[in-house]
Structure 1
Amino acid sequence: MNGRDGPGINRSTEREKEALSNALSGVLDTNPFVGEGGAYGSVRPAYPDEAVAALVDAAWCARGADASGRGGPLRAADIGAGTGKMSELLARGGLLVDAVEPSAAMRTQASSIEGVTWHDGVAEQTGLPNDLYDIVVFAQSWHWVDSERAGLEVERILAPGGALGIVWNQMDVSIPWVHRLTRIMRSGDVHRPDKRPTPGGGFAPMTLTQVAWEDRMTPEQILTLGTTRSSYIRSSEAGRARMQENLRWYLYEHLGYAPGETVTIPYTTLVWLARL
């Protein structure tokens, strides 16, 4: 596009579009995933079995710590649940899950699975009941919250002795080619294992479990993965095109992958846990 107005442009319509774009930009500053284009559920990786097992074990330990008056299946709240990748894994592990996600665009990508109930809410005000959950999980979402207020909200909805789990999947940036890939994608995979989360409320210091694993994708899927990053969603049209062009160069020319070829990507999952 050359930026010139074509014949017959309706100026009032253009002003309305600009106002709508500005309004959307304001929302994206708060929650970029209201503008996610529908690829998140298909290309974002799930979580390794060992990470999910650590969360389920923590829920069982919490139930055993103070089980007075509690019976039935373990209950989990998945906050900032996105498209439900963690919710589904917890449900398959036998937990009843309340998934809280503020973005309708993300909720509509979730698969329907028994044991998961969806709610529109935010970390600082979930709308969930008091003193109910054996574990509350933030998978790939804690960095979006007000940690003090979110911790107090978790404290409110957890049953006595309940557990808080904060989980991050991230590409292993200790490997130079992976580090460069994340820089090109502006993926923000920088959650350091020596920086313990500090939620509000009366939680014990968080302990860390790390799980090393690998994901396998084609170059085309990695290109799509780049479009699910908050930096891409918030970027201008020119910025998006530039990021995709750089990714294509890096994958096809610099690294030498052919279309459809498998790219093995090393990951590390950080699982932070604390109890009330």
Structure 2
Amino acid sequence: MTDMLDLGTPPAKAHSKTAPPRDLNARAMCELLERHYRGKDGHRDQDSHATFRELRAPDQVHYADFVAVSLWSSRGLAVDVHEIKVSRADWLTELAKPSKAEAWWPYSTRFWLVVPDASIVKASELPEGWGLMVPPKNANHRVMQKLVKPAVRTPVLPLELLARMLMRGRDEEKRRLETATHEAFVKGAEQARTLTEPARAPMTPAERERLRTLDTLELIVGSPIGNWNSRYNARQIGDAIRWLETVNKLPTNYELANLTKVAEKITATVEELGKLLPEVAPNRTVG
């Protein structure tokens, strides 16, 4: 399997037609493979394959990056194993240590190398029997480009591997059911809240201006208006404002400055009277 095969000119031409290299990590490549085999949720091919990420081989050591098991006899039952490499350095490391591919080779119908761009792999480097797959040119398309077709074999499927696939499939289905249930609960709760809560109309410019005025007034007063535990309440502040408006309507000779002088004189007079009253009427209390 690990003998190198010179693919010649045709694959090189196929490489030249691919799109420029994409910035795709291993997770993004797995998502592209999911879409390739099963389409999006609700697609007619959703049940055509069982797919697995990071599936352990029967040797208990090596993992396949992505495995797709065909479930429809009409399209041919098969086990497609995929090795994902996202850079030239990753691919050279794989060539130097082929044990991962060797571990999965007997259990696969087809073995694929999947890369973001074919320029990562030289034509002469692809091992014999491997296929080469790259993302579609158009991001709106779901079908991956198959630049090199792999050899087709009848796979060996030990019970251990079958059991592992079934357990992974069961856990995945449970996870999807839990996710769908949670999403349905959140959506239902949001709809119920929308029905019970009255719709709030946006504030008008006049309302926003009134709120700004209230904020300024509370800042000057030093406490929130309407807080009955504070020094002032709305009624007291309103009375004070009306008194100021009355003062402003007085004639000029009774403006606030003159009123202040009058108040000072009254205060002085009261103080003088306070000194005299005990002498004039010592037994009287001024109320």
TM-score of the superposition, structure 1-length normalised? 0.23
Larger radius of gyration: 2
More helix by share: 2
Identify which of structures 1 and 2 has the higher relative contact order when contacts are C-alpha pairs closer than 8 Å and 6+ apart.
1
